[in-house]
Structure 1
């Protein structure tokens, strides 16, 4: 065969399931802010405060001591024990044999999905939802169906009967994020009980993303008052540790450790050997000195977290009052997390709207469409900052809407 007869090589592409994944619209809006002076960014889910000193000092001490080597796949024993004590104090007796340390909460979510989901499996997710949760099962070849929260006078609410109807016997896994990103919705104890009993009957795995469980403001939750004020209702309060429930958590929110990439899983003990294999083939282990920082957080961070939640609630209430006074904005105070997910004039095309706000007034919020079709018509504003910064953002929003009104 001559050179002229050689076959033309195919175009090198990633596999179809990966190419079909949604790109982050939050990043798309943030990218629109590059080169724009003095942007106020409320688009990402993190505080503007640094990790507390006692946590940073623990990591520094570990580095100074040379704690830079590989560790056990499931985490160092002292951190697993500290997490078991922490989870036990909040949700009932928990053994270190049910706890695994991961390289971030999102890594924990991927590992949880890899444990129980494969190609062709049916997954149900409660939405609007952080896109990573919806897309992770798709990477594994699973089919994801959604049940949407509804928005009304009481804010975001779940029709639990609709959810139970979607959890058919052929469902492999349910994904629930409560407190929820982006809406701040919190699943009530009675809703969790109904869902758990239903999933038990049909052998459905529950993967609960409870990363925001400490960011909980029960005065507006509408819950029955059973849940302790320091944590949102959790499936761990109801489920035995060895049934089909995997709870994922992270150090990012309650201790302001977003950049540290440290999380954990609470799961049946019989999964741990297989989970260790998955950790080995994903990341091998979380960094040793970061795990030492994690010990400091869970053992000595109780007062800090209480003060953080107090400050977040004050910021939430302040921003709700300020936005409620803006014509064209409809906002409700959510019972959890660190976001307001609200509707406003122009939000029917939320990505276009958010890009325009960045360009025209330097205001950065996340488009509702980033969280699925169910989120279109809304925008997400992270209020984890001081009120002066929030006030500056509201003034920019007013200026933007006034300009739009003048042009219409």
Structure 2
């Protein structure tokens, strides 16, 4: 007796929205470089320094005390209170009722998107942009349109009128990352006022990724009579918006306190969202680890001097690398006002992924391709300068060698 025949089953695949996501080209270059001897990696957005000892010690003490259990979905009360005080000191009165602790800044971005958008919704994003921000709404079935910054004599600039024209009444959410990864562009106060007024008029949600807000390098004194606090942070939508309107600000412990591997972040959002946000946290991660949250308390309560010193060091590294790259044949680079990257152009960067892989193979230099940040980033390379100047100099020497070998002009 023969075996019964069954119809052939299709190959098991993820759903279409997931299959359509673009893979990270930063990871693609890094994967090509892992295991390569004597690599100089500048591809990821993190410092080469470890997290400060006072933060690590707080986590160790919490572990020793047994802080290994579940916590409240929105974070332990002492951390929410500490974050409320920290945000209030930078951006005006903020209650713990407007704070949610998350398992990393990228988790906060996913939660914010899950709160606001669904299948078929229209999202607008200002690009070039870290790919996670553009792809996250697509996971939820939203349609993402982009408005690109322009590059010129003064670096990366926003065409405000173009952005406002794109923010039509059928737009559900605007994504803004300022200071921006990869360009270092910062949305100024006048632009924020115009965007906020426009979004209020049309009921558009603003999700502001302000992870790099402390990595801000104003060349002179704060403009327009802003408070002295502005010198410590980039302009924020929190400075202008009330806490209970359609503005969600996302932040992270990764940059200002060198806690990339800890995966801890927070959201500032309307109090009325917190019940639903708590449900989303439960169904995503349940809560951030208890001992990591204790490290977060130490960071925000004891870390101000460290952060200010870090910013001074990063500005010095930025200026050093700008000068060094400016001496490389064919390189066009401008000093940006924020973040921890230079996004510069050079010959053959119109094929940036191929170029970066070639640099890995031939000279052991690891940079991020501009195409990783969307088609608007093609033609550029991203260099993270969060390291000492000797390491930057070594990287520039390898770039010069690569240019010489390929006779780029």
TM-score (norm 2): 0.98
| Alpha-carbon shift at residue 220 of structure 1 (Å) | 7.4
1:136 aligns to what? 136
Q: Give yes or no for contact 1:119–1:142 (8 Å, CA) kept in 2.
A: yes
Alignment of 1:310-349 (within 5 A): 310-349=312-351
Which of 377, 380, 383 is the aligned partner of 2:382?
A: 380
Q: Is the 8 A contact 2:222 2:231 kept in 1?
A: no
C-alpha RMSD over aligned residues: 1.4
The equivalent of 2:398 in structure 1 is 396
Runs of 5+ unmatched residues, structure 1:
none
CA separation in 2, counterparts of 1:390 and 1:221?
29
- Aligned-pair distance for 1:10? 1.4
Residues 28-62 of structure 1: per-residue CA shift (max 9 Å, x gap): 11111133210000000000000000000000000
* 8 Å Cα contact 2:180/2:338 also seen in 1: yes
SS in 1 for 2:183: coil
| 2:369 is equivalent to residue 351 of structure 1 | no
Unaligned runs of 5+ in 2: none
1:113 paired residue number? 113
Equivalent residue for 1:280? 282
Q: Runs ≥4 in structure 1, deviation > 3 angstroms?
A: 1-4, 220-225
The answer for the alignment partner of 1:75 in structure 2 is 75
For residues 380 and 355 of structure 2, what CA distance do their matches in structure 1 show? Answer: 10
Classify 1:370/1:126 alpha carbon distance in 2 versus 1 (closer, same or farther; 3 Å): same
- Map 1:7-406; keep pairs closer than 5 Å: 7-219=7-219, 224=224, 226=226, 228-405=230-407
Q: Deviations over 1:149-194 (max 9, x none)?
A: 0000000000010000000000000000000000000000000000
- Given that 1:25 and 1:351 are in contact with CA atoms closer than 8 Å, whether structure 2 keeps it comes out as yes
Alignment: residue pair count: 407
Distance 2:398 2:44 in 1: 18
Question: Does structure 2 conserve the Cα–Cα contact (< 8 Å) formed by 1:74 and 1:102?
Answer: yes
Deviations 1:174-219 (A, max 9, x none): 0000000000000000000000000000000000000000000011
Distance 1:53 1:62 in 2: 14
The CA distance in 2 between the partners of 1:161 and 1:271, in whole Å, is 31
After superposition, what is the alpha-carbon deviation per residue over 1:51-104, rounded to whole angstroms, capped at 9, x for unaligned? Answer: 000000000000000011000000000000000000000000000000000000
**TM-fit CA distance, 1:345:** 1.1
Shift in Å at residue 394 of structure 1?
A: 0.2
Taking the aligned partners of 2:349 and 2:76, their CA distance within structure 1 comes to 47
Tell me if structure 2 keeps the 8 A contact 1:186–1:336: yes
Aligned counterparts of 2:403 and 2:45: Cα–Cα separation in 1: 24
